[in-house]
Amino acid sequence: MKRHVLIVGAGASGMTAAIHAAREGAKVTLLEQKERPGKKLLSTGNGRCNLTNRDQKDEYYRCSQAGFPASALGRFSAEDTLEFFGRLGIVPKDRNGYIYPNSDQASSVLDALVQELEHLGVRTVCRCPVTKAAKEGETFILSSSQGRFRGDALILAAGSRAAPATGSDGSGYRLAQGFGHRLVTPLPALVQLRCREKHYKRLAGVRSEAGVRLFADGKLLAEDRGELQLTDYGISGIPVFQVSRYASMALHRKQDVTARINFLPNMDQRQAEKLMDQRRRDLGDRTCIQWMNGLLNSKLSAVLLFLAGIQEKQPVKSVSRSQWNRLRELMTDYETGIAAANPFENAQVCCGGVDTRQVKEETLESLLVEGLYFCGELLDVDGICGGYNLQWAWSSGAAAGRSAAAG
């Protein structure tokens, strides 16, 4: 008799787990609370689906248990992902190591997965939120809005709390806790940060190449560089997303969190001082706002001048040395207080989740309940931007699906 594998959550990891379990000969039932599978997948990569990234390093994946993600990632690598989707008809497009479908449509990836589920005979039940999961003897029993389901193995792939409108509402955490699993507190990650200062309304819409360093109680936590986006409430963009998980965690610990921004990321303060001296010699007969022209965005220039105590129409020659020093500091080491991370509704993923210290890293099977498996965002694993969270979905889904089918 075929082993019957139940899977809760038809997102990227859940569908992958279902495909691999079915390929191993298992009977598979996939339960999804939304009206269709893969709703969150459609929004990845701004609708283009950044499938994976050729540049793979352990440090691109974060977890409270150092090294835990490496096992699944090693067993189903980025190259395995390309082969997997190639067999499903997806032609890859390589953008400097960032891999997308050649169609530039996330819907193509979702359609390929759904077609494979159908081809393998996976039973997919949508509009089916699971309210309770239990194990009686050797059988897992799920209670749902569409009745009870029984199986020999259970994979929880219900996602995190990030982007709950797509189905990641945290319900998987409750199911895991029902089996005795503990959680590392889920917090928003890959998310915008809200700042304390009042002048951000003047900066809304500004984009600037910048370096961002994040501190908690004066200690450097993380840093990144890229296109910074300024909003009416604070800071956003890829470099902010990359450090945001550490801000969420520090704020949760009630620490004082600040970010320091270098708007001239190719320069340190000494190099910036040389540049300013040269510009003063070349443009000494201008006003200060004219002097700033071509150096930084005009809206950003106006705010930095204001913070330095310099009037926009003030002649360059009348600016004091202390004012110049303050302006240089603002351009290369601007400090802003972080009041909060944006909520789960705005987050791409979460940090935290099911504690991996209670999960076998090779198979992703529970150490507490035989036959129970986890994959995807439900676990305390999150990646940086650039296709890494989807790679974790594919890798962990493959590991859980194969293991659950084998028993």
How much is the average pLDDT of 296-323?
A: 97
Buried/exposed code over 202-220 (b: 16+ C-beta within 10 A; e: otherwise)? ebeebebebbbbbbbeeee
Buried/exposed code over 140-160 (b: 16+ C-beta within 10 A; e: otherwise)? bbbebeeeebebbbbbbbbbb
User: Who's near 258: CB < 8 A, 6+ residues apart?
Assistant: 214, 215, 335, 336, 337, 338
Say if strands 139-144 and 147-151 run parallel, antiparallel, or are unpaired. antiparallel
pLDDT in tens, 232-284: 999 999 999 999 999 999 999 999 999 999 999 999 888 999 999 999 999 99
pLDDT band at 231 (very low <50, low <70, confident <90, very high): very high
Please give the model's pTM, rounded to 2 decimal places: 0.95
User: How many degrees, rounded to 5, is the angle at CA 65 between CA 62 and CA 68?
Assistant: 75
Over 80: is that where the pLDDT of 1 sits?
no
How much is the average pLDDT of 294-313?
A: 97
Quote the distance between the C-alpha of residue 20 and its chain's center. Answer: 25
Q: What is residue 346's predicted lDDT score, i.e. its pLDDT?
A: 96
How much is the average pLDDT of 156-166?
A: 94
Of residues 228, 218, 224, 231, the one with CA closest to residue 257: 218
Amino acid in the structure at residue 81 = T
Q: What is residue 15's predicted lDDT score, i.e. its pLDDT?
A: 98
pLDDT in tens, 65-108: 999 999 999 999 999 999 999 999 999 999 999 999 999 999 99
Q: What is residue 338's predicted lDDT score, i.e. its pLDDT?
A: 98
How much is the average pLDDT of 52-71?
A: 96
Scan for tokens 């791409």, then name that residue: 348
Percent of the chain's residues with pLDDT above 70: 100
User: How many degrees, rounded to 5, is the angle at CA 384 between CA 387 and CA 256?
Assistant: 160
Over 90: is that where the pLDDT of 2 sits?
no
Q: What's the per-residue H, E or C state across 329-371?
A: HHHHHEEEEEEEECCHHHCCEEEEEECHHHECCCCCEECCCCC
Over 80: is that where the pLDDT of 130 sits?
yes
Cα–Cα dist 373/68, whole Å: 15
Q: What is residue 45's predicted lDDT score, i.e. its pLDDT?
A: 85
pLDDT band at 35 (very low <50, low <70, confident <90, very high): very high
Cα–Cα dist 272/270, whole Å: 5
| CB-based contact 5:21 (threshold 8 Å) | yes
| CB-based contact 164:34 (threshold 8 Å) | no
pLDDT band at 215 (very low <50, low <70, confident <90, very high): very high
Cα–Cα dist 156/127, whole Å: 17
Say if strands 153-156 and 372-374 run parallel, antiparallel, or are unpaired. parallel
Cα–Cα dist 2/106, whole Å: 33
